[in-house]
Amino acid sequence: MYDFSLLSRETIQAIIFALFLFIIAFVSFVIIVLYTLFKYTVYTNKHKEKTKLICDVAYFHERGKRDKQEDSIYVSPMDKMETTGFVAACSDGMGGLLNGEVVSKYVTDSLREHFPYQFDAQTANARIITGISDKVYEEYHLGAGATLVMVHILDDYMNFYSLGDSNIILIRNNRATLLNYKQNYITLMIRKLAEGGLETTEAYRDNRAKGLIDFVGNLKCNVLMTNRPLRLFENDIVIVSSDGVTDSIPLNRIVNHIHFDQNADGIARTLKYGIQTRKNPRQDNYSAIVIKMRRSFV
Amino acid sequence: MIEYYTFKHRGAADEYKDEIFLRLVPNLTVAIFNGNKLDSPKSQSLLFSEILSSDEGNKSIDYLTTVFEECLDKGSEYLILRVEQKGIESIRRGDVCAKIVRQGQISLLPNGYFGLSSDDRIICATSNFFDYLSDEGILADALVAGTCSEWMNMMIRRISDQSQLKCGNLSAVDLRLNT
């Protein structure tokens, strides 16, 4: 216990005055905080319709156990996102063929040259990709090739384009879905077997069936594209990646590596470390662009 | 113009317990019957098809539902979808359902009349078919596919990737109205 009677009268008065000032300051602080919160809530509600979905973007681009980095990525400038939209692409040089790194780099460089793309001109955009593929064909005559996945996001909508077996993954409601199907012989075999009323086990047995039926470097390739855009929602996560990512973290386990309050940077980092900790002795190059949709006043 | 594609697969089961029925006149009527919860699905399926192909089949969906309620066993599940002037009328019982892809989104088709706009796409199927598909997968395939058969093949690929089509009966119809 303190014996305040030992303190001089002036000291006690000073302490009381100090306490009084502290209480005033504290009450003022609380009032200011409450007022700010109230104003923010009112402003947010008033301008709710003016908020837009924006892309929070991060990427990683890593070399696995391969001699060369055969993945190449492209991310469009973010400053004109409101008018031109946002484009992200990943190209993966085809294993077993020469010059994979040259072709994938050529693909992303060509995409950069053609930017900006018209959002609603999906066929025209696909034609640009076909043109790039034809040029690769003229140079290498099927001696080199690459896969390509590209997304184009404008406001709440997304178009995507795909050639080969790279990934466009949408994570919504804690579930990851591969949006583009893989253009390989397995697809053709499944179609035939299903039409015949048979099981499709056989299609997955033969490793050669994983061979691509379409890719950049094929003449007059058939670009897989959305004819109508897909609607995006707040907190959707889009991952544009090479198959090196899903080889190490299968699609159904990707969500286990993601915390939904993370931003794109955090998700990209977690995925990258997830792949590295697998220590796959045959790890392919792995690259991904992570896009998280956030609502903002921007 | 109406474009549709049907898919039926035994899925390594001993017998078919699902059935798909189509009636083209006077309006296109699609019906899917699922007898998975029945002891004798064949007889119920036959009864279902007889009612649909009889004169009763021409009558309103509401009337048809009353007939089915009276005649079919309790565990019978079905979906009836009839294309009307500029829309679609549907009724479902049990887990057989239809989903509609519209403006880049997918949703469950409600019972009753539903107006359609050009390029809307509909997939009707048994629950077993939908069990292996996510809404986002169905949606992405619908937006990519140029034709109904292409859309169906893409969905089958997804089901196959998970089950290799050894998952029991699969029955589905997808359709598109170009109004």
B157 alpha carbon, distance to own chain's centre: 19
Residue B141: CB partners within 8 Å, gap ≥ 6? A181, B151, B154, B155, B158
A253 alpha carbon, distance to own chain's centre: 16
Q: Does the model's ipTM exceed the 0.95 cut? A: no
What is the structure's pLDDT at A172? Answer: 94
- The overall average pLDDT reported for chain B is 89
Q: Choose which CATH entry (3.10.20.30, 3.60.40.10, 3.20.20.10, 3.40.50.1370) describes domain B2-177.
A: 3.60.40.10
What is the structure's pLDDT at A106? Answer: 94
Are B164 and A228 inside 8 Å of each other by CB? Answer: no
Where are chain A's structural domains? 4-48, 54-181+219-296
Residue B104: CB partners within 8 Å, gap ≥ 6? A157, A228, A229, A230, A231, B139, B143
What is the structure's pLDDT at B55? Answer: 83
pLDDT band for B135, please (50, 70, 90 cuts).
Answer: very high
Structure confidence by residue, pLDDT tens digits, A243-288: 999 989 999 899 998 888 899 999 999 999 999 998 888 888 899 9
Pairing relation of β-strands B121-125 and B170-177? Answer: antiparallel
Structure confidence by residue, pLDDT tens digits, A210-244: 889 999 999 989 999 999 999 999 999 999 999 99
Contact A24, A16 (CB under 8 A): no
Residue A160 has pLDDT above 70, yes or no: yes
d(CA A82, nearest CA chain B) in Å: 20
Confirm whether pTM is higher than 0.90: no
Contact B136, A170 (CB under 8 A): yes
Which SS3 state, helix, strand or coil, does residue B171 take? strand
Domain spanning A54-181+219-296, CATH architecture: 4-Layer Sandwich (3.60)
Chain B CA closest to residue A172: B136
Compare CB distances from A230 to B139, B154, B160 and report the shortest one's residue: B139
User: Facing residues of A161 across strands?
Assistant: A150, A225
Chain A CA closest to residue B149: A191
Chain B CA closest to residue A168: B140
Interface test with A, best of B143, B148, B149 (most A CBs within 10 A): B143
Where are chain B's structural domains? 2-177
Measured between beta carbons, which residues in chain B are less than 8 angstroms from residue A193? 165
pLDDT band for A35, please (50, 70, 90 cuts).
Answer: very high
At which residue do the structure tokens 């002036």 appear? A10
* The pair of three-digit structure tokens given for residue A163, joined into one six-digit string: 């050639």
